[in-house]
């Protein structure tokens, strides 16, 4: 246990809890902020990606450029709230988060600045970056259908829309409606099918849930493997983590299911990104842009996609061997900015349908 943790535990045992919380909070805040500073040779990064999944490539960036990266990791929504609260005094130069819906929220909150970069525009397809240059996709993940092998005949499957069919009643596992990944999936359907059809789909889709939505994406795959449902909706990188990880239960669960790529005869399978942006009040904005540009180089894309079990955003960088075993698929080419634009309506549709 670290000195900081021991001290906070001692403080929270005080008879004056509010004072203890204030002091403890100050210790945590100072611990996180003291290493951050404005310098010609540094850049400060707030990242929703875990340290182990990004730090090695940041060290490579420092070796190549001499620019030190000061890293803070945390939950995506908490980091965005922190940037908003810090305002002009924020230490953040770069914000990395998951899901275009969150990137849109950050843009809409006024905490990002647009940058113009031929390097980024040439490397990243237009639909995987903000039309005005406020954020850029770094890696791509898909959200396909997972089915239990030997229970579901993949010939039964076709589209997301078809999952509302009564033949799938009580056979589907999926996360709750407050999950941004599901909100973005519904937002993409709004763009493709319009509000009336999407509402009817959601009304019927929830009738096919095998259980009340709970847990994360891994839990949906585990639920299918354990017989609680026959179909699960999850992001591909969770599947990659499960099948390649050391946890026996997760590995066995992943081996019990297979991927079906929906909507291959029309718009394609829903995809999303983790992405990066320069903050509005960045003190090291030039270095911030250099870091984002580096993360889209071929070298960085190969490492980043491999470490995260995600797909490169660059078309000239191949997927890893594991991802190749899942087969090629047609991806939806909707501009991911629309996932943010449609988010509020998507949430309303899910609420009206009774999607908990």
Q: State the CATH number of the domain containing residue 207.
A: 3.40.190.10
Mean pLDDT of the chain: 90
Which domain, by its residues, includes 287? 39-140+273-320
Output the CA–CA distances (angstroms, integers) from residue 12 to 3, 22, 28, 87, 124, in the order listed. Answer: 14, 10, 13, 29, 48
* Statement to judge: residues 164 and 240 lie in one domain: yes
pLDDT in tens, 214-244: 999 999 999 999 999 999 999 999 999 999 9
Specify whether the backbone of 46 is left (phi greater than 0), alpha (psi in -120 to 50) or beta.
beta
Instruction: Verify that 343 and 210 share a domain, yes or no.
Output: yes
Instruction: State whether 135 and 51 are in the same domain.
Output: yes
pLDDT over 50 (residue 67) = yes
**Residues 293, 89: Cα–Cα separation, whole Å:** 25
- Do residue 103 and residue 202 come from a single domain? no
What phi and psi values does residue 105 have, to the nearest 5 degrees? -60, -40
Q: What is the pLDDT of residue 30?
A: 36
Contact predicate 172/202, CB 8 Å: no
Q: Is residue 21 part of a domain?
A: no
Give the bridge partners for 69, in sequence order. Answer: 43
Q: Are residues 159 and 248 in the same domain?
A: yes
Say if strands 136-142 and 271-279 run parallel, antiparallel, or are unpaired: antiparallel
Instruction: Note the pLDDT of residue 31.
Output: 36
* Residue 12: inside a domain: no
Q: Is residue 16 one of the residues assigned to a domain?
A: no
Smallest Cα–Cα separation from 189: which of 356, 35, 346, 8? 346
User: Residue 40 — very low, low, confident or very high, per pLDDT cuts 50/70/90?
Assistant: low
Examine the domain organization and report whether 210 and 85 are in the same domain.
no
Q: Is residue 77 classed as helix, strand or coil in its secondary structure?
A: helix
- Looking at the fold, whether 44 and 112 belong to one and the same domain comes out as yes
> Are 214 and 187 part of one and the same domain?
yes
pLDDT, tens digit, 9 for 90 and up, residues 98-143: 999 999 999 999 999 999 999 999 999 999 999 999 999 999 999 9
In a domain, 308, yes or no: yes
pLDDT-derived band at 343, boundaries 50, 70, 90: very high
Based on the structure, what is the number of domains in the chain? 2
DSSP-derived secondary structure letter, 319: P
Residues 244 and 175 both lie in one domain: yes
Of 50-54, 154-158, 203-207, 258-262, minimum mean pLDDT range:
50-54
Give tens-digit pLDDT for 236-264: 999 999 999 999 999 999 999 999 999 99
Over the stretch 83-103, which tens digit does the pLDDT of each residue have? 999 999 999 999 999 999 999
The CA distances from residue 147 to 73, 162, 202, 215, 305, in Å, are 34, 14, 20, 18, 24
Residue 4 in domain: no
pLDDT given at position 115? 96
Instruction: Please report whether residue 5 resides in a domain.
Output: no
- Residue 47 is assigned to a structural domain of this protein: yes
In a domain, 255, yes or no: yes
Same structural domain, 256 and 280: no
Collapsing DSSP states into helix, strand and coil, what is residue 265?
Answer: coil
Classified as helix, coil or strand, 186 is helix
Question: Do residue 131 and residue 147 come from a single domain?
Answer: no
345: its two tokens: 């309506």
* Residue 29 confidence class, pLDDT cut points 50, 70, 90: very low
- Report the pLDDT value the prediction gives residue 304, as an integer from 0 to 100: 80
Measure CA 62 to chain center.
Answer: 25
Query: Which SS3 state, helix, strand or coil, does residue 197 take?
Result: helix
In this structure, the answer to whether residues 260 and 278 fall within a common structural domain is no
């Amino acid at each position: 246990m670290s000195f900081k943790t021991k001290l906070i535990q001692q403080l929270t045992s005080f008879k004056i809890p509010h004072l203890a919380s204030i002091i403890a909070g100050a210790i945590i805040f100072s611990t996180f902020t003291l290493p951050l500073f404005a310098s010609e040779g540094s850049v400060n990064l707030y990242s929703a990606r875990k340290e182990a999944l990004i730090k090695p490539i940041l060290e490579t960036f420092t070796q190549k450029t001499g620019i030190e990266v000061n890293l803070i990791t945390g939950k995506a929504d908490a980091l965005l709230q922190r940037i908003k609260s810090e305002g002009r005094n924020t230490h953040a130069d770069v914000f990395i988060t998951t899901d275009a819906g969150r990137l849109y929220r950050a843009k809409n909150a006024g905490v990002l600045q647009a940058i113009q970069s031929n390097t980024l525009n040439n490397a990243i397809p237009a639909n995987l970056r903000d039309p005005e240059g406020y954020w850029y996709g770094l890696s791509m993940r898909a959200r396909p259908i997972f089915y239990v092998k030997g229970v579901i005949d993949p010939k039964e499957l076709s589209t997301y829309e078809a999952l509302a069919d009564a033949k799938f009643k009580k056979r589907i596992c999926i996360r709750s409606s407050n999950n941004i990944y599901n909100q973005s999936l519904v937002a993409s359907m709004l763009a493709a099918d319009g509000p009336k059809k999407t509402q009817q789909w959601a009304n019927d889709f929830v009738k096919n849930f095998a259980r009340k939505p709970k847990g994360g994406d891994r839990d949906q795959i585990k639920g299918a493997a354990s017989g609680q449902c026959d179909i699960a909706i999850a992001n591909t990188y969770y599947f990659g983590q499960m099948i390649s990880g050391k946890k026996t239960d997760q590995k066995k669960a992943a081996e019990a299911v297979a991927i079906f790529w929906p909507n291959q005869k029309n718009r394609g399978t829903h995809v999303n990104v983790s992405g990066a942006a320069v903050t509005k009040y960045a003190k090291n904005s030039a270095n911030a842009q250099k870091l984002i540009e580096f993360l889209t180089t071929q070298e960085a894309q190969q490492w980043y996609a491999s470490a995260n079990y995600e797909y490169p955003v660059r078309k000239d960088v191949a997927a890893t061997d594991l991802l190749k075993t899942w087969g090629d698929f047609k991806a939806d080419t909707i501009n991911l900015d629309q996932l943010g634009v449609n988010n509020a309506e998507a949430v309303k549709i899910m609420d009206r349908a009774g999607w908990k």
